Amino acid sequence: MSDDAAFHRAADQLIAAGRFLFERGWVPATSGNFSARLPGDRIALTVSGRHKGRLSRDDILIADMAGNSLDARKPSAETPLHVSLYARLPHANVILHPHTVESTVLSRVSGERIAFQSYELLKAFPGIKTHETTLNVPIFPNDQDTQRLARTVDGYMHQHPRIPAYLIREHGFYTWGEDIDAVLRHVEALQFLLTCELELRKIGR
Ligand SMILES: [Zn+2]
């Protein structure tokens, strides 16, 4: 596949993902950002401030693995979080970052992690074969210094390389996968699990 074809394929997948997430209320008001690994140590990345439900190819830029835009457009302020994940996880090829109500609310009222226990849908995540397990998803404090936040996340992932996602407090979550289908499955599964936990709290459990 040529470089152009690889970019167009990745951009079109991110555009479709943006529509899917926006329709569910998971990327309101231009929030969130998406990326995909490209051949030649580059990534496709959403341009800062664009509406994620109405993306076009013009809203996706190409950056190097240090997060520097390779054209004149400005990458998302959260670019360091994307490039550090790609550096840490060779099998991660797509990253989605929604800002959902459930992740925002639950991260506000939880400690340093949320433990998802005994849910059948845990099997949506790689390496989980049974409901008889607990998935600990960490919550990091929000930080406008995203280089510093990326270092915090990377330090955690050095110790816990198998986590499929993390939350940022009062902000949203990041998840990743080997391709667009895998990462969308992780978004949907995490949203389901977060919604279950929120519903449990509503009924006092
Ligand atoms: Zn964000």
Whole-model pTM: value is: 0.96
Q: Report residue 104 as tokens.
A: 């925002």
What DSSP state is assigned to residue 181?
H
Residue 110, strand partner residues: none
31 CA → ligand 1 middle, Å: 6
| Per-residue pLDDT at 72 | 82
Q: How far is CA 18 from CA 25, 94, 103, 112, 185, in A?
A: 11, 13, 18, 29, 14
Residue spans per domain, the chain = 3-202
CA of 96 to the centre of ligand 1 (A): 10
Q: How do residues 124-168 score in pLDDT, each as one tens digit?
A: 999 999 999 999 999 999 999 999 999 999 999 999 999 999 999
What's the Cα-to-Cα distance from 89 to each of 27, 92, 161, 176, 200, rounded to whole Å? Answer: 24, 5, 8, 9, 33
Mean pLDDT rounded to a whole number for the chain = 95
- State the CATH class of domain 3-202: alpha beta
d(CA 94, CA 82): 9
Task: Determine the distance separating the centroid of ligand 1 and the alpha carbon of 152, expressed in angstroms.
Answer: 16
- For 35, 63, 99, the CA distances from 172, given in Å and listed in that order, are 16, 23, 4
Q: How far is the CA of 118 from the centre of ligand 1 (A)?
A: 29
CA–centroid distance, 155 to ligand 1, in Å, is 20
- Chain segment 65-90, per-residue pLDDT in tens: 999 999 888 888 899 999 999 999 99
CA–centroid distance, residue 68 to ligand 1 (Å): 18
| CB of 99 closer than 8 Å to CB of 31 | yes
Instruction: Determine the distance separating the centroid of ligand 1 and the alpha carbon of 158, expressed in angstroms.
Output: 22
